Amino acid sequence: MHGGGVVTLSSAGAGDGYSSEITFTVVMSCLMAASGGLIFGYDISITGGLTQMQSFLKAFFPDILEKMNAATQDEYCIFDSQLLTTFVSSLYLAGMFACLVAGHITKKIGRRNSMLIGASLFFVGSVLNCTAVNVAMLVIGRVFLGFAVGFTNQSAPVYLAEIAPARWRGAFTSIFHFFLNVGMFVADLVNYRANTIAVWGWRLSLGVGIVPATVILVGAAFIPDSPNSLVLRGKTDAARASLQRIRGRSADVGVELRDIVQAAEEDRRHESGAFRRIVRREYRPHLVMAVAIPLFFELTGMIVVTLFTPLLFYTIGFTSQKAILGSIITDVVSLVSIAVAAVAVDRVGRRSLFMVGGGILLACLVAMAWIFGAELGTNGEKAMSRPYAVAVVAVVCLFTAGFGVSWGPLKWIIPSEIYPLEVRSAGQAMSEAISLALTFAQTQSFLNMLCSFKYGSFAYNAGWVVVMTVFIFFFLPETKGVPIESLREVWARHWYWKRFVKPLPTPPPPSSASKVVDGPV
């Protein structure tokens, strides 16, 4: 079916007999897992306010402070500093390497234990940053935070997708992105207050991250591991108990457990590792999406909004305090739009949100390129008039809304659900490693790119939005409502991917299946 289309599953057992009950255990487990996104969001956004906070710049980057106070300067180039971007981007480079290791470790020790490792690293990194006395200590702390991101971003979305009821999987998985934005909102609120504290205000900004890290470290110890992960490690009895706890004591979990066991047995039929397996022909669509989704996510232009909003607002003439306030406004818009996406994603589907978001992002990026070009010119020496500065804030808010209902949450939903169990850890690790590598590249280059290309930076991202929207339209099938271990049928019926993916054999009748479930794995 051209355009991706909606594939209807008609084969027996494709979700029949699954419980869609939302229990207290599944809600609390999802909230705890998604809290890893809260710290990630906090660490993303805290740097945006810090990098134009006078107490922080005076302590570590006095050369930038001199440019900010200069009588004349190129507005595009105030924050163009390799040392500053190294501080910001070191987290993403460390996270990229950690993701590749975490994929193997998560498969061996489970999703929950991987999240515990991440929470511990978050705690250590936050302490180092809060007590930093030089740039080297700041960077080392950010590296620890990057390792934490590698473990939590690899394991938490997969955990959410595996324990959520199939009917509501999109909404539950989007909680990770919602919490990520809550973290960004909290970071901007903290920066707004810390910016008024002379000398040590920056320590408050970096130190608050210790609190959620501690809460998650303690809370993650009390949630069950996902049944899929337990079966994959040969713990069928524990998986049954976990599934019963997640779905409710009265729920019949036999059919769902049977499908999980069948997926695990498919994994054991392969001797090669998951990373070598995912490059095979039958996993071609999964490999393409593992690369394309994070690549396009990073090229939406989101790096401007999520990391550098305060700097962007400072560039167009806002004071330091008003620039942070502008970032808080965009955070509120983002949270509202993500809530809308959570409600809509399992009703209208993933593809519809991608299409709507693509149109909004394209319009906003073209508008920003035009406003910056007309008002600041090519040399950045002109000051932006107030009406146009207000227009930039409005366009950034609209951009944030478009991103929040589409690529923001869907970047976490799609990779966490599309991979078969036998390559799920590898696929998620690869996807997140690529995303973090591209974030590192963009944080290293965006301020220099803004200085060199001026308003053309926004036009560059607009071109990519066109490409990614066309790609989604033709190559991403609809996955809403399909049980996670039955998604192979979706790929096997897609107009293009069916040449690579063949449907699994019809599962055995229930009487035979129960013997498989009850027996050793």
pLDDT digits (tens, 9 = 90+) for 11-20: 334 445 676 6
Give the closest residue to 260 by CA, choosing from 218, 286, 284, 231: 231
Q: Give percent of the chain with pLDDT exceeding 90.
A: 21
Question: Which whole number is the average pLDDT over 181-196?
Answer: 87
Q: Mean pLDDT of all residues in the chain?
A: 81
Place 21 in a pLDDT band, splitting at 50, 70 and 90.
confident
Decide if pLDDT at 144 tops 90. yes
Query: Quick one: pLDDT band at residue 515, thresholds 50, 70, 90?
Result: very low
The closest alpha carbon to 437, from 312, 297, 275, 301, belongs to: 297
Return the number of other C-beta atoms located less than 10 Å from residue 95's C-beta: 30
Average pLDDT over residues 234-252: 87
DSSP code string of 188-217: HHHHHHHTTSTTTHHHHHHHTTHHHHHHHH
Distance CA 135, CA 142 (A): 11
pLDDT at 139: 92
Q: What confidence tier does 319 reach under pLDDT thresholds 50, 70, 90?
A: low
pLDDT at 475 over 70: yes
Most confident of the following: 218-222, 263-267, 358-362 = 358-362
CB 328 within 8 A of CB 188: yes
Query: Residue length, the chain?
Result: 521
d(CA 145, CA 45): 13
Is the distance from CB of 19 to CB of 162 less than 8 angstroms?
no
- Report CA torsion sign: 333, 336, 340, 341: positive
> pLDDT band for position 46 (50/70/90)?
confident
Residue boundaries of the structural domains of the chain? 24-223+270-493
User: What pLDDT score does 516 carry?
Assistant: 41
- How does pLDDT run across 345-398, given as a tens digit for each residue? 999 999 999 999 999 999 999 998 888 777 666 555 556 677 777 788 888 889
pTM of the model as a whole: 0.74
- The pLDDT of residue 384 is 66
Report the distance separating Cα 158 and Cα 99, nearest Å. 13
Q: How many angstroms from the chain centroid is the CA of residue 383?
A: 35
CA distance 299 to 294: 9
Residue 511 confidence class, pLDDT cut points 50, 70, 90: low
For residue 290, pLDDT beyond 70: yes
d(CA 105, CA 426): 10
Tell me the average pLDDT across 269-277: 68
What pLDDT is stored for residue 438 in this prediction?
Answer: 85
Do the Cβ atoms of 141 and 125 come closer than 8 Å? yes
- CATH hierarchy code of domain 24-223+270-493: 1.20.1250.20
Q: Which long-range contacts (CB under 8 A, 24 or more apart) does 294-298 make?
A: 294/411, 294/415, 294/431, 294/432, 294/434, 294/435, 294/438, 295/434, 295/438, 296/407, 296/464, 296/467, 296/468, 296/471, 297/407, 297/411, 297/435, 298/435, 298/438, 298/439, 298/442
- Which residue type sits at 320? S
Confidence of residue 9 (pLDDT cuts 50, 70, 90): very low
* DSSP result, 352-404: HHHHHHHHHHHHHHHHHHHHHHHHTTTTS-SPPPHHHHHHHHHHHHHHHHHHH
Q: Kindly indicate the confidence band of residue 463, based on its pLDDT and cuts at 50, 70 and 90.
A: very high
CB count within 10 Å of CB 258 equals 21
